[in-house]
Structures are given as structure tokens and as C-alpha cells.
């Protein structure tokens, strides 16, 4: 039983990722459709992507590693939030399968905010820590290869499969979440969608334009909510859709491009998995130090946007 205690914040104490089993290079795509490695690299920054596996299967792999790193047993977790826009079934929610496979005994739910799903889930998870839960497992997991039209060169080059997970744990005080912002512009549904059972349809140029604005606006709101300025941001962990989107957003935010963490060269766009995969890279290559301020920011179909400011501290390590 959990007592509401608004004085609790949280910390990220474990993290893990999983990627699709098969590597598809740009040259592999060029052998199947009218495109080239040069075009894809120049227009997107993507070199290869990983595909294969199920949304639940990838989520379980990433989740297991996150639990292990946090030193948690399955029964220690009070809630599972699975961000996905590619559930394995229409009914039930994929989180149920993940809950079962991980041996969790807690509640579980899917959250669909497309590529903003991980940050939406992270903020939701921190809310539950304030409501009295001690540990929440948050996973973004996607198998976009199943909803990609492999005949359509304007979308097939972009997407990949993967998962990223974090454990957040309650602690007294404000915790590491300093500011956040969640947004949605529902009128933009038609620029990026897939009907039930259908494939992704996208107006690429329009999505690009809106994405830069949505990302920048959301990031600015979170930075302001945290009482900070762009100069305070140590690293940006952006949604990994297109390197040119990241570069444009960084320019608008006035943050040096080398502060953005990118993994899309090797993963493509893995939707709600992309931010935790990039976070994993930043944490594991040792560049993030105690006291650093991280800006996690994403955008996606909906059109959704989300950002969170996280202050890293010794107790995360
Ligand atoms: N290979 C070669 N040529 C391609 C191509 C490909 N894979 N895809 C499109 N083209 C062609 C187009 O047919 C067009 O040819 P034309 O000038 O003869 O008509 C030309 O390249 C330019 O196409 P355009 O769509 O204007 O390219 P772009 O620079 O906007 O890049 C995207 C296309 C999709 C890479 C880019 O718009 C994008 O990344 N958009 C955002 C997508 C996104 O982030 N989605 C996920 C959101 S979560």
C-alpha cells in the first residue's frame, strides 16, 4: 500500500537496451529500392538500422538489464509503464506480456504517445513516485519494421526496432526531475499515421518542419520550468529521427551541436525506444558526470512532443 507523499522525487538507478537482431545497411536498402547510401546518409544521417524481434521480447531484454543494474528483484517494482506505438496485439496491452515475462507482480500499462512515449512515460512514472510508489520500470519498445512499407523509399529508410528501459526509484526531496513539458497538436494527425493493421504514411517535409518547432518549443518550456537557461544544459538526449532535425533544433536552442547525443547512425528511428537508447549511450560512455543537466526531448506522431530536464547525481551511479 502506498501513501501519497508529495515530498518524494526520484532517481534513475538502472538502465538497459535491446536492438533488433538483423542489421540492414543503406546498401541493403539500395539493392531493393531506388535509393543510395549517399542519399540516405546526407538527408538523414542514418547508416544502418536493426530489425527483428517482438515489442514484448525487446522490452523484456532491456527491462531485465535495467532491473539487474538497479539491483532490484521483480517483486520490488511497483508499476510497469511500457511506451509503445507498435504493440504486439490489439488486445491485450503488450505491457501485460512484459510484466509476465519479467516476473513482475505489479500493475502494468501501455502508453502510446508515439515517439514522445518514453518521456511521457518517464514523467508519468515520476508522478507515481509522488503518489507513493517506490520503484517504477519504464520501457520504450518498438517494432516499427512491422508497420513500415518496405516498398516506400521515403519511409523505409528511416525506421528500426529496439527498446530502452530505466528503473526510477523514490527518494526524499525533489529528486532528479527539475522540469518537464508534455504537448500534443492533435490537428496534425494526417502528416504521420498508420491505420489499424496498416503501414506508416508520412508527409516527410511537413513532419520535419513541425518536428523542429515542436522540439524547440517543448525544450524551452522545460528549461524555463526548471528555472534554467540553455547555457545550463550539459547534454541533449533528443529523439533520433533525422540528424538534420537534431542540428536545426540545437541551433534554435542555442546549444552547441556537440552537446547532442546521437545513435541514429546505427539504429535509425526507433520511436519511443530512441531516447532511452541514446541515454544509455551517454551514460555508458562515461561522458555524463555528477551534477550534469540532461535535456531529454522528443516529438512524434499525434503530433506529440515531450521533454524533461534531469540532473544527474552521484547516487545515480
Ligand atoms: N532515396 C532517394 N531519393 C529519395 C528518397 C530516397 N530514399 N526519398 C525521397 N527521395 C527523393 C524524392 O522523391 C524527391 O525527389 P524529386 O525532387 O524528384 O521529387 C527528393 O528525393 C527530395 O524529397 P524530399 O521528401 O523533399 O526529401 P527531404 O530532404 O525532405 O528528405 C525525409 C526526406 C523523409 C528524409 C525528411 O523529410 C525527413 O526526415 N522528414 C521527417 C521524418 C521524420 O522524422 N519522421 C518521424 C517522425 S517521429
The pLDDT assigned to 1 comes to 47
- Per CATH, 8-172 and 177-316 having the same topology is answered yes
269 classed as catalytic: yes
239 classed as catalytic: yes
- Is the pTM above the cut of 0.95? yes
Number of alpha helices (DSSP H) and beta strands (DSSP E) in the chain: 10, 13
Grid coordinates belonging to 115? 515517439
Cβ-contact 160, 149 below 8 angstroms: no
Reported as a single tens digit per residue, the pLDDT across 26-62 is: 999 999 999 999 999 999 999 999 999 999 999 999 9
pLDDT band for 2, please (50, 70, 90 cuts): low
Per CATH, the architecture of 177-316 is what? 3-Layer(aba) Sandwich (3.40)
Asked if residue 276 has pLDDT above 50, the reply is yes
Query: Is the distance from the beta carbon of residue 61 to the nearest atom of ligand 1 less than 6 Å?
Result: no
Asked if residue 4 has pLDDT above 70, the reply is no
State the catalytic residue, choosing from 115, 176, 181, 242. Answer: 115
Cβ-contact 290, 314 below 8 angstroms: yes
Per CATH, the architecture of 8-172 is what? 3-Layer(aba) Sandwich (3.40)
Cα 154 to middle of ligand 1, angstroms: 5
Asked if residue 237 has pLDDT above 90, the reply is yes
Domain ranges of the chain: 8-172, 177-316
Cα 204 to middle of ligand 1, angstroms: 6
Give the side-chain half-sphere CA count within 13 A for 44. 29
Amino acid at each position: 500500500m502506498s501513501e501519497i507523499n508529495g515530498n518524494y522525487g526520484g532517481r534513475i538507478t538502472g538502465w538497459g537496451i535491446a536492438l533488433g537482431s538483423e542489421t540492414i545497411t543503406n546498401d541493403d536498402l539500395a539493392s531493393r529500392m531506388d535509393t543510395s547510401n549517399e542519399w540516405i546518409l546526407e538527408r538523414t544521417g542514418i547508416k544502418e538500422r536493426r530489425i527483428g524481434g517482438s515489442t514484448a521480447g525487446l522490452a523484456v531484454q532491456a527491462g531485465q538489464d535495467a532491473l539487474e543494474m538497479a539491483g532490484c528483484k521483480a517483486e520490488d517494482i511497483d508499476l510497469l509503464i511500457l511506451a509503445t506505438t507498435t504493440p504486439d496485439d490489439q488486445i491485450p496491452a503488450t505491457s501485460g506480456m512484459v510484466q509476465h515475462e519479467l516476473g513482475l507482480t505489479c500493475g502494468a500499462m501501455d502508453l502510446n504517445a508515439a515517439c514522445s512515449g518514453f518521456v511521457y512515460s518517464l514523467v508519468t512514472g515520476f508522478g507515481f513516485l509522488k503518489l507513493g510508489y517506490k520503484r517504477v520500470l519504464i520501457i520504450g519498445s518498438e517494432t516499427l519494421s512491422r508497420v513500415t512499407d518496405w516498398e516506400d523509399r521515403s519511409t523505409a529508410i528511416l525506421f528500426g526496432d529496439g527498446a530502452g528501459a530505466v528503473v526510477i526509484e523514490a527518494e526524499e526531496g525533489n529528486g532528479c526531475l527539475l522540469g518537464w513539458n508534455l504537448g500534443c497538436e492533435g490537428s496534425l494527425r494526417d502528416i504521420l499515421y498508420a491505420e489499424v493493421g496498416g503501414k506508416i504514411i508520412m508527409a516527410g517535409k511537413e513532419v520535419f518542419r513541425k518536428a523542429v518547432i515542436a522540439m524547440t518549443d517543448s525544450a524551452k518550456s522545460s528549461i524555463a520550468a526548471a528555472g534554467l537557461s540553455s547555457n545550463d544544459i550539459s547534454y541533449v538526449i533528443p529523439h533520433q529521427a533525422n540528424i538534420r532535425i537534431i542540428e536545426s533544433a540545437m541551433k534554435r536552442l542555442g546549444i552547441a551541436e556537440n552537446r547532442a547525443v546521437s545513435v541514429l547512425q546505427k539504429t535509425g528511428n526507433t520511436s519511443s525506444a530512441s531516447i532511452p537508447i541514446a541515454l544509455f549511450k551517454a551514460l555508458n560512455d562515461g561522458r555524463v558526470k555528477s551534477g550534469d543537466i540532461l535535456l531529454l526531448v522528443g516529438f512524434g506522431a499525434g503530433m506529440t512532443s515531450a521533454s524533461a530536464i534531469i540532473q544527474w547525481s552521484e547516487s545515480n551511479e
